[in-house]
Amino acid sequence: MIVAIDGPAGSGKSSISLQLALKYGFVYLDSGAMYRSVTLACLKNGVDVYNEAEVTRVAKESQIEFLYDQDGKQTVLLNGEDVTGDIRSSAVNAVVSVVSAHPSVRTALLDAQRAYGQKTSVVAEGRDTATTVFPNADLKIFLDASPETRALRRIEQNKQKGMLDDPDALDFEKVLESIRKRDEIDSSRAASPLKPAEDSIIIDTSPLTFDEVFSLISRYIDAFLVQQN
């Protein structure tokens, strides 16, 4: 089974997707972490993120791996180095939308993403998983929330990740501005813009708790699995 969950930054798709994957024994595909890893590699090596050819070269040369412990905690390896915390830094947040907007970069990572779905059941999350990566997904979900709600959630996530020494990561106005800018870039880019697939189930998570969203999507998955049996 392929579950594709899309949505803007801070909509809760990463946390929900990971827990769903753990519950059902599916592989969790964090496509956003792939783009963040490429972005980090560019920053570390002084590559201009606006230079599509150079960024694409970095994407093709980068080896990105995901590891998970028994509690579902994710470790992201970039060329063998643990970059789990680094890819969530303010520096990466500021330009990851530029990197992910390059058509050739998206193409370079597309095959790697689709390979997961050919091997096993997956919960894939990102911004174009239902429209581009897995257009034939068995279940398509689009999570949304107000920019203000998403900014508060992102700040809480940053705190939980120990980013207490990064003032930009905890400043509401700066985080809100970053989210709005990311929304604009993601929604207007030429390659795989952020939008719900025509057959996506759209869920506004603003008034909902994590458990409520998790329970709602679980019911959709359960219904599909029952039909298959």
Tens of pLDDT, residue by residue over 108-145, are 999 888 888 888 899 999 888 999 999 999 999 999 99
Tens of pLDDT, residue by residue over 50-107, are 999 999 999 999 999 888 777 767 889 999 999 998 998 889 988 998 999 899 999 9
161 CB-contact burial (10 Å; exposed 0-12 / middle 13-18 / buried 19+): middle
Determine the Cα–Cα distance for residues 188 and 192; give it in Å rounded to an integer.
9
What CATH number is given to the structural domain containing 148? 3.40.50.300
What does pTM read for this prediction? 0.80
Total number of domains constituting the chain: 1
Confidence band, pLDDT 50/70/90 cuts, at residue 193: confident
Residue 41 belongs to domain spanning: 2-228
Nearest to 106 by CA among 35, 164, 179, 168: 35
Amino acid at 94: A
Residue 214 and residue 19 in contact, taking contact as beta carbons nearer than 8 Å: yes
Give the model's pLDDT for residue 188: 86
Give the model's pLDDT for residue 72: 66
